[in-house]
């Protein structure tokens, strides 16, 4: 991993390091050469690690007071809110933390899309990242079920019912998932168990994600391969750590704004009504971060078709490195793709918006158009644009055009303006 061999100074350190090279790992993480031109979109990796740790720590405390039983879950959440010392704070950090986690992960994913970070040689980082994202969605969905409010219950009913669309064995699978003949106490219990398990799976995948990142090193806004270490890189500590800390603090201010001043704005008021299998809410909506997929699901008149399309919307991302035919990584130098990137962003936001609306009239039309465009972007736009597009000239290194302007001063200026 490390470019140069690290030897601990103390005798004890050397003794230990010869047996378990933890100090070498620490030295590698400190020295890790990082491109010096990373912008603030690159700070979300650190922010996401913070989010994961926050969710795990608050979650462990919540689990000490929560009761996973259909008759007691709602009351135990109220017990946390009212009687547990700072229970309200811990729960609001946890519930808003899920939203902040997704906000950060979406920025992180779109950052990768814009700068081509998923491309060779970083495909494995990208795929592990998508697996983390999938697990995050599963964890968030199950976590939302735990308070056992109306949206918990009916959200669980809608999502688990999706599996009944599978031909022949669908109903059996759904019953198996429920552990009963409807969403009931066994469902709540297993969701709690899995909700506790998944974050640790994510943690393991995060380690692999970072490990895979440290093999080729970071991509950067210019998207070119750089020599490491060189004039183009800075050691991770203190340069990147202090920058990540600054970005994290800004993020935490927004986070705290939600937790302390509008803790319920991202949730649904119906979830403060205890679950009632006999009363269906007027509109069953998932949490905001799942809405684009909900819109895709509902845009298809056929249930099985909708389910297939919804899962395809995620799984298509796994083959993205091979759908993108462009040799150039960063969209900074891809004038055509750049336009399509922003159209995709708008498309996904629009899908999220119509996902919150009733599936009828103009919303259904928009959902269909948005869904078709979503898939067109990956299946048609990416391969074709990558093939046809005339990209802008790319600088030789990060420092050179910017510093000396030898190669082509106009490029240097242009690059500086854009980044």
Partner 1 sequence: MIKSSLRFVFLTFLLYISFKPLNSAEMVDPIKVNWSFKGLTGTFDRASLQRGFQVYKEVCASCHSMQYLSYRNLGEPGGPEFSEQEVKAIAASFEIEDGPDSQGEMFTRPGRPSDKFKSPYPNVQAATAANGGAYPPDMSVLVKARKGGANYIYSVLVGYEDPPPGVDLDDGVYYNKFMVGNKIKMPNNLMDGLVEYADGTKSTVDQMAKDVTTFLAWAAEPELEERHKTGVKVIIYLVLLTILVYLSMKKIWSRVDTEV
Largest CA distance in the chain: 74
Check binding of 266 to partner 1 (CB under 8 A).
yes
Residue 270 CB neighbours (<10 A):
18
Task: Kindly write out the interface string for residues 107-146 of this chain, putting x where it contacts partner 1 by CB under 8 A and - elsewhere.
Answer: x---------------------------------------
| Residue of 292, 417, 409 whose CA lies nearest to 353 | 292
Q: Which of 30, 120, 193, 264 binds partner 1 (CB under 8 A)?
A: 264
CB 246 within 8 A of CB 83: no
Nearer Cβ to partner 1 (145/234): 234
| Residue of 43, 36, 110 whose CA lies nearest to 252 | 43
Nearer Cβ to partner 1 (8/97): 97
Check binding of 282 to partner 1 (CB under 8 A).
yes
Q: Which span sits near partner 1 by CB under 8 A: 157-165, 204-212, 281-289, 377-385? A: 281-289
Q: Which of 250, 365, 379, 380 binds partner 1 (CB under 8 A)?
A: 250
Output the smallest distance, CB 384 to partner 1, in A. Answer: 25
Nearer Cβ to partner 1 (7/276): 276
Check binding of 75 to partner 1 (CB under 8 A).
yes
Nearer Cβ to partner 1 (254/384): 254
Output the smallest distance, CB 278 to partner 1, in A. Answer: 11
CA-based end-to-end distance of the chain: 30
Output the smallest distance, CB 273 to partner 1, in A. Answer: 5
* DSSP tag of 217: -
Q: Which of 165, 208, 273, 284 binds partner 1 (CB under 8 A)?
A: 273
- Cis upstream peptide for 229 (omega within 30°): yes
* DSSP tag of 235: E
Q: How many residues bind partner 1 (CB under 8 A)?
A: 55
Output the smallest distance, CB 352 to partner 1, in A. Answer: 6
Check binding of 403 to partner 1 (CB under 8 A).
yes
Rounded CA separation 80/39 (Å): 40
Query: How many Cα atoms are found within 13 Å in the side-chain-facing hemisphere of 264?
Result: 7
Check binding of 242 to partner 1 (CB under 8 A).
yes
Provide CB contacts within 8 A for 43, sequence distance 6+.
Answer: 243, 244, 246, 247, 248
CB 2 within 8 A of CB 31: yes
Secondary structure (DSSP) of 147-209? T-BHHHHHHHHHHHHGGGGSTTTHHHHHHHHHTSSSS-HHHHHHHHHHHHHHHHHHHHHHHHH
Secondary structure (DSSP) of 72-102? THHHHHHHHHHTSTTHHHHHHHHHHHHHHHH
Check binding of 39 to partner 1 (CB under 8 A).
yes
CB 118 within 8 A of CB 79: no
Check binding of 69 to partner 1 (CB under 8 A).
no
Q: Which of 56, 89, 210, 376 binds partner 1 (CB under 8 A)?
A: 89
Residues 338-377 interacting with partner 1 (rule: CB under 8 A): 349, 352-353, 356-358
List residues near partner 1 by CB under 8 A: 36-37, 39-41, 75, 78-79, 81-82, 88-89, 92, 103, 107, 234, 238-239, 242-243, 245-246, 249-250, 252-253, 256-257, 259-261, 263-266, 269-270, 272-274, 282-283, 285, 288, 349, 352-353, 356-358, 399, 403, 417-419
């Amino acid at each position: 991993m490390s470019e140069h061999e690290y030897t601990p100074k103390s005798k004890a350190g050397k003794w230990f390091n010869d047996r378990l090279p933890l100090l070498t790992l620490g030295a590698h993480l400190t020295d890790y050469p990082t491109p010096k031109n990373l912008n603030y979109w690159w700070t979300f990796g650190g922010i996401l690690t913070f989010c994961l740790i926050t969710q795990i720590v608050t979650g462990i405390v919540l689990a000490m007071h929560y009761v996973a039983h259909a008759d007691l879950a709602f009351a135990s959440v109220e017990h946390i809110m009212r009687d547990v010392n700072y229970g309200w704070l811990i729960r609001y950090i946890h519930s808003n933390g899920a939203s902040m986690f997704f906000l950060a992960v979406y920025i992180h994913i779109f950052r990768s899309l814009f700068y081509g970070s998923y491309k060779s040689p970083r495909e494995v980082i990208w795929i592990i990242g998508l697996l983390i994202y999938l697990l995050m969605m599963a964890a968030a969905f199950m976590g939302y079920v735990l308070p056992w409010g109306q949206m918990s219950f009916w959200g669980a009913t809608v999502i688990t019912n999706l599996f009944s669309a599978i031909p022949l064995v669908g109903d059996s699978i759904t019953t198996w998932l429920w552990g009963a003949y409807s969403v009931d106490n066994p469902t709540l219990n297993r969701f709690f168990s899995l909700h506790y398990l998944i974050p640790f799976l994510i943690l393991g995948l995060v380690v692999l994600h970072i490990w895979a990142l440290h093999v080729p090193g970071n991509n950067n806004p210019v998207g070119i391969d750089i020599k490491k270490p060189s004039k183009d890189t800075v050691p991770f500590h203190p340069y990147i750590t202090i920058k990540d800390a600054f970005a994290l603090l800004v993020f935490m201010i927004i986070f705290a704004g939600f937790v302390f001043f509008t803790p319920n704005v991202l949730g649904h008021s119906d979830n403060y009504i205890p679950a009632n299998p006999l009363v269906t809410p007027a509109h069953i909506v998932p949490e905001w971060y799942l809405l684009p997929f909900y819109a895709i699901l509902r845009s298809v008149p056929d249930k099985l078709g909708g389910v297939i399309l919804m899962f395809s919307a995620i799984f298509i991302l796994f083959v993205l490195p091979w759908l993108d035919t462009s040799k150039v990584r960063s969209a900074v130098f891809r004038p055509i793709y750049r336009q399509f990137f922003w159209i995709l962003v708008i498309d996904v936001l629009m899908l999220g918006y119509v996902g919150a609306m009733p599936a009828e009239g103009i919303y259904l039309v928009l959902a269909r158009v948005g869904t078709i465009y979503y898939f067109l972007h990956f299946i048609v736009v990416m391969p074709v644009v990558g093939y046809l597009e005339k990209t802008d000239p790319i600088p030789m290194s990060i420092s050179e055009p910017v510093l000396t302007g030898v190669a082509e001063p106009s490029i240097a200026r242009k690059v500086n303006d854009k980044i």
